[in-house]
Structure 1
Amino acid sequence: MGAREEILARLRAARPAAPVPVPRAYDRATGYPDLVGLFVDRLEDYRATVHRCPAGELPAVLARLLVDVPEVAVPAGVPTGWLAAYPGSVRRDDAARPLTVTDLDAPALAVLTGCAVAIATTGTLVLDTGPHQGRRTLTLVPDHHICVVHTGQIVGGLPEALARLADPTRPLTLISGPSATSDIELNRVEGVHGPRRLQVVIVDT
């Protein structure tokens, strides 16, 4: 038995025989009557910028957010209608012509994606590399990320979010606010491990 097999065997042996109850009804949304409001509060705590609009106004809202952005990168599956009012250049990332890290690191570029699900209690966006989200590189390299979230995608906690995923084994990116870190003196630095600016557009559906 190799080291890997030995570690996995120990983990399996340590697993409790009976399910462990989750306290405080954390795995149910019934305790959070206003999931959207809670989600917005958490995002703003993390210094993300939040916008809310009806579905029909999404193109206009995105065009306003991108008014000073000459170029936007999007995954191949983002609907063309989202950027119908945007006058700048749209660069689609697809398998035939993937955008390079150099492309995505351009200072004047922003990235626009959707998400797979959003968690209200932690203000977290969950991306699973689906058609609206694309490769993980798309949301880790650019300095400015705009994410579209429909209200029907917002759930209470992590267990519900995982249950919503079509395939929980796919690579996941969990985003809770702009990228930030602090040193031992708690001096906050943003944009170290990902986008410095995070804007979330919540679409009422």
Structure 2
Amino acid sequence: MRRALLACCTALALAGCATPQVGPMPPKTVENVDLKRYQGKWYELARLPMFFQRDCAQSEAHYNLRADGSVGVLNRCLTLDGKWQEASGSATPQEPGKTDKLWVQFDNWFMKLPGAPKGNYWVLYVSSDYQTALVGNPDRKYLWLLSRTPTLPAVERESLLAKARQQGYDTTRLVWRVSDRDIARKP
């Protein structure tokens, strides 16, 4: 009886020393992103819903590496009525020398306010040929499936979806790129 009580007390004491896990572990990022190879045009194939992209039918991101090591960002969005919307900004490494986790800030009135938040841009996956990528944030509210082309073969698309699900993202809620024929392009 004493041994059982001692074992129980020891187990409780050790459990009290454990660091409590608050929420799920953050997603795993890639080891390193070669920003020279990452720059250029990326098409958004799909994304988790978000307020600031609510009117976007097709989106693309243009990245260019700057001399100071930051990345210039130009996001473009084509609406269903054929109008382009743009947002420009910059991305900087969250940790010096590491390129898998970036802070993104856009050049708009809100971001110019003191203490304005920066967005997490975590590269979860990039293919060895830098043709496809998964980007998300630590709380899994945001996710983008990116490609150098506006469409992908089904096998490659399913591979990206599987990688996202393995990281804990809800891929059933993805908003997919609208086809060209479904957009009323304006001259």
Output the TM-score relative to the length of structure 1.
Answer: 0.26
Query: Relative to total residues, which structure has the larger strand share, 1 or 2?
Result: 2
